Chains A and B, each alone.
Chain A
Amino acid sequence: MKMGENIEQNDKPFNIAIVGLGGQGVITLTKLIASTSFGLGKKVCFNEIHGLSQRGGSVQSLIRLNEAHNPIFAAEDVDLVIGMEKLETIRYLYLAKKANPRVIMTNKYDIRSTHDLGLVTFPDEQEIDKEIARYASEVYLFDALGYEENFKGKFKPLNVPVFAILTTFPELGLPEKESKELVLDYLGRNMFIRQINKKAFEEGPKWLKKLEGSS
């Protein structure tokens, strides 16, 4: 699947928000995008908000391509939201509702047991999907659960396949071949880790589909 075929590449800032939970690789994904763009000679900057992320708190990072200094943009100016977890995705989209951004999200839905004490009602998963489709112009679902089940071995990187999906967006200016090499180098020269990441990169786009109901 090729996305955004009609959009021409230009030098206007491209604003990405990545949201998720501590441990999901939000910051690493941000660094993958930044290091690749930087390595390809673009201007890029990013900001990370990870107050208590190590303890399962929510993590957001903002990254701007073609902009050198200010990574923080207005919510209504967001071009792409990458949601690593559904609750965090819908939380961010509520703010960005004027923007009508494109969304890539995983189907991870993490209701942490300790919150489920009968005091908090968690929204139904389908209800979240419906809401997300209302606020975004195009929603793509990365079937992370399917990918993980299919991916053999103990380490199942979540950020590398999502990054691979981004290389299929022409307007991000991350050509697949060069990006793949840059990212694999960036993540370490250990052959074992490189093999895992290489496979994860190749798998990513295979598990992507357009969410029904989105325009």
Chain B
Amino acid sequence: MTVDKDLKRSSEEKETQLLMGNRAVVQGLLEAKVGLTTAYPGTPSTEIQMLLYRLSQKGQLYFEFSVNEKVAFEIAGAAAMSGVRSAVIMKHVGMNVASDPLMALSYFGVIGGMVVIVVDDPGCLSSQNEQDSRFWGKFAHLPILEPSTSQEVKDTIVKAFELSEKYNMIFFVRMTNYTALNTSEVEKVVIEEKMKRDGHFVKDVKYLIPARYIYHKELHGKLLAIGEDPVFQSFNELKFSDSASDKLVITQGAIYPMVEYARNYVGVDVPILKVSAIHPFSEKQIVSLLKRFKYVYFIEELETYIEDEITSIIGKHNLNIKVFGKNKLGIPQENRLPPDLMLHPFKLIASDPDDEQTWNFKLPESSPYPQVFERDGLLIPRTLPRLCDGCSHRGAFQSIKQAVKADYILPSDIGCYALGQVSPIEIGDFWLCMGASIGTAIGHSLVHKKPVIAIIGDGTFFHAGIPPLIDAVLYDHNITVAILNNRLTAMTGGQPSPSSTVKKAENQNEIDIEQVVRGIGVKWVKSVAAENVQENTKLLKEAIEYEGPAVMIFSGNCVVELLRHNFDLGQAPYVDQEACIYCGICYIDFACPSIVKKDGRIEIREETCTACNICVDVCPHDAIIARKKT
């Protein structure tokens, strides 16, 4: 049962609701009357997108799941060029894809406010890396704001649009999985009006001239002006300012509430400078904030971004301040930074910084994340995620497993099928970024004699898999591509993908993967149902033997989506105990979680089985028997 309704209450003064940071983003977008929004699905930003998707289905504003982040950015960017307030939402790695148009549009600026909402994933809870998006501000010459709580998220979005229009600049609002997934109280604003998107494009020769360094110079000037803007400066706040301490802790918006908690828990009387205006820094503001302090300590998550910026200002202005960076305090530069890892640093902050003994410490043992595997001799096995019970693509994996040999190279990609890389399925040798399976497959095919099979999903194929497939046809590269099509962007919770047949937006067309592949010019193409394991194994062997690019499209709907519409998909098959010889193929190779070993026998767990009946085809001894559909 999904519970996704707003938790609200009213008092005499105001009505408030409990909102997840991601949902507060949408409140902010509505309050700012944003006309056009685009996104590509990506956790931890997915809730923003799903809520916008639902609102767009009701006609409240325009939202689309674009084919990738670059396209999403270009669509929103063009709307803002024409004076329409627009927003583009993505996870941190999406910025890599969107950065090409961003780096150019930043020069011209925008007429209507434009905000890029980017959600970072420290700790890589659901990502391939934990890149720190704060660096985009410096790189693209664009301002970044970083809120702390759901209320701040909503307010920051509204102010970011105002500032964006005032300076004709694109603004970033950077969140992390902490701000995005925390739920806290937000003032309730009900906005039911339909957002307008009447654009007006003014042609201007500035968009055409090649000497664009002029705008680069203009940007530097604008950044200086923004740094001195009192509204922008108000995002940096000195907390506990009545403390008489000559020490100051400096931290960033995204982790501020945890830093405050750790300060109070350890009990250190020290003010904290909360920096939420991440870029640009006003030297004047920083100097005036720091002048009464003798010692400054930095606590931030991931890279030493604020630390480097402020340390350089301290140096430039010859301030008589001793700086203690996060490394000195023993704070790691990777993974999430929960309060557990701030307790010891605060004890250091409470000690005498001029005493050598203070800095002579061994870090206490602590883990940033509750994943413990062994203590005092008791082993606690890791809980690994796995493909769902009844996922038809477990059948596709079984076919691949039966068709390949151990030394074949299997580049994989980003999506549910990444779960096939780990035990017990173990199909897939590596994954880099969206669409990389096909490009890297080509590279491997050029330097090895072994067959190379790229594994990619439907969403990822449309996102970034088409250009490398064109390359494969262009130079007749000898690769096989297995496209696992579940007709959904499933890993992020089930968003429509271009090949969606059931779940899609109104007016959304369906794009047939086979036609795309044939259109590119691939000669060996087969579309199959993923559950026909044995037949598909033969076909896949053919594809591997074929000289040149071969594409096999395995289709089968996402089972989570099927269960959303129909809770009871049928009766589980059963094991004929006399025919079963305990070969382990169903249990160890195919590894459906609904196939269990009980008292030495193989059995099928009826509560979780979705009656996909793929195991019936997998068993070579005809020991798994399907029941007739009732």
Contact = CB atoms under 8 A, between A and B. Distances in A.
Contact of B257 (A34, A48, A70): A70
Contacts of A71: 182-184
Given A45-B183, A75-B370, A112-B593, A56 B386 contact: yes
Interface in B1-53: 1, 3, 5, 7, 9, 11, 18, 43
B543 interface: no
A74 interface: yes
Q: Which among A41, A54, A90, A187 has the highest number of chain B CB atoms within 10 Å?
A: A54
Given A73-B261, A73-B339, A123-B379, A41 B9 contact: yes
B380 A91 contact: yes
Chain A interface size band reads: 35 or more
Contacts of A188: 1
B126 A117 contact: no
A132 to B, nearest CB: 11
B398 to A, nearest CB: 14
Contacts of A58: 371, 383
A47 B22 CA distance: 12
B568 to A, nearest CB: 9
Nearest to B16: A38
Contacts of A60: 370
The majority secondary structure among interface residues of chain A is: mixed
A39 B385 contact: no
Contacts of B343: 74
A47 B385 contact: no
Q: Which among A22, A69, A73, A91 has the highest number of chain B CB atoms within 10 Å?
A: A69
A70 B260 contact: yes
A52 B338 contact: no
Interface in B116-166: 125-126, 148-149
Contacts of A28: 1, 3
A87 B380 contact: yes
A38 to B, nearest CB: 5
A43 B7 CA distance: 13
A47 B605 CA distance: 33
A73 B342 CA distance: 11
B387 A47 contact: no
B111 to A, nearest CB: 36
A107 to B, nearest CB: 17
Interface in A69-118: 69-77, 87-88, 90-92, 94-95, 112-117
19 contacts: A22-B385, A28-B1, A31-B3, A38-B18, A39-B9, A52-B126, A58-B383, A71-B182, A71-B183, A75-B366, A88-B383, A113-B595, A114-B386, A114-B423, A114-B593, A115-B381, A115-B424, A128-B378, A186-B3
Interface of B: 1, 3, 5, 7, 9, 11, 18, 43, 125-126, 148-149, 178, 181-185, 257-258, 260-262, 265, 338-340, 343, 366-367, 370-373, 375-376, 378-381, 383-388, 416, 419, 423-424, 493, 560, 587-588, 591-597, 605
Given A91-B370, A188-B1, 10 more contacts: A35-B18, A39-B7, A47-B178, A75-B340, A87-B381, A90-B380, A94-B375, A113-B591, A117-B423, A128-B378
